[in-house]
Structures are given as C-alpha cells and as structure tokens.
Amino acid sequence: MGEHGEESTANAAAAVLGRGEHEYGWFGGRANDLDDRRCVAFPIVSAQADGDRLIFRFEWKGAVVSGTVWGRSFTGIWRQSTGDGEIALEFTPDFTSAEGWWTWPHEPARHRAFVRRIGAPSAAPHDSRRTRDGGAGSPPRR
C-alpha cells in the first residue's frame, strides 16, 4: 500500500505481467545484430512487487528487470548473464503494454524497449524479426 492507503501501482503491474500473457522486447543490441531496425521479444516468466519496486524476469540469458514504478512510469536496470544497463518504460493505464528505452552503462545511445501481449502486432512497422530461441547474442560488454 502507498502512504495514503492506496495500492501500489507496482502491485498492479506485477499482477498483469505475472499472468504469463506478456513479453518484453527490444530493438538493437547483439540479439538483433546491433541493428536498431530489428527487434526480439521473449515471454515474461514472472513478476513481483514489493512496495513501489517491480521485478520481472523473461526468457533470455537469465534476464531480470528491476526498478521503481511511479504511477505508470518505470525506471530501473536490466541484468543478464552477459551484462547490465538502464531501462525506462511508460505503461498504459491497464499495464497491458509499455513503451520506452534501454541502454548499456556509460553509453548515451538509447534503444527502444517494450512490453506487449504475446502475439500482439509488431511494436513498429520496420520490425523485421522476432525470436524466442536466444537469437544472436546479448548486448556487448563495454
């Protein structure tokens, strides 16, 4: 609960994302051969909230995304077996989708990130592939 007795929006987000009906995806990075015109998306396998903190995991190299939800805005970090970085997402009012960005540490370039229902239309008209099999790798370590 929030300080005024209302339920945290992190709890609402975790409830929706934890249903097994959504995926997290991104443009660029090594999973897309460093091509910002391509994206991949992987099922979100778990989501939990603790106060205003949201943590979700998806099927890619042990990936975990964690951070703070304020209203519909999420800011935090992503971690996987080969690196980490920053992430920011803006959710829809019902938390069924989100758009935002991800980046590697100490790099100014931001790349698109999103949450959507599994099987939803592409996040962009230039989306050239989608994979769940591990793709071509992970963001390079810097």
Count of Cβ atoms closer than 10 Å to residue 19 Cβ: 12
pTM, full prediction: 0.78
Q: Does the pLDDT value for residue 134 go beyond 80?
A: no
pLDDT at residue 88, as a whole number: 97
Beta strands in 53-141 (DSSP E): 53-58, 64-70, 73-80, 83-91, 98-103, 111-117
Distance CA 7, CA 115 (A): 22
In the three-class reduction of DSSP (H, G, I as helix; E, B as strand; rest coil), residue 97 is classed as: coil
pLDDT (tens digit per residue) in 34-87: 777 888 899 999 999 999 999 999 887 788 999 999 999 999 999 988 788 999
What burial class does residue 106 get, using C-beta atoms within 10 Å of its C-beta: 0-12 exposed, 13-18 middle, 19+ buried? exposed
Mean pLDDT lowest among 77-86, 90-99, 101-110, 128-137: 128-137
pLDDT at residue 33, as a whole number: 67
Count of Cβ atoms closer than 10 Å to residue 47 Cβ: 22
Name the most confidently modeled range: 22-31, 55-64, 83-92.
Answer: 83-92
| Residue extents of the structural domains in the chain | 9-117
Asked if 70 contacts 91 with a C-beta cutoff of 8 angstroms, the reply is no
Q: Does the pLDDT value for residue 121 go beyond 90?
A: no
| Cβ-proximal residues to 135 (8 Å cutoff; 6+ apart), any chain | 31, 32, 40, 60
Determine the topology of domain 9-117 in CATH. Answer: Lipocalin (2.40.128)
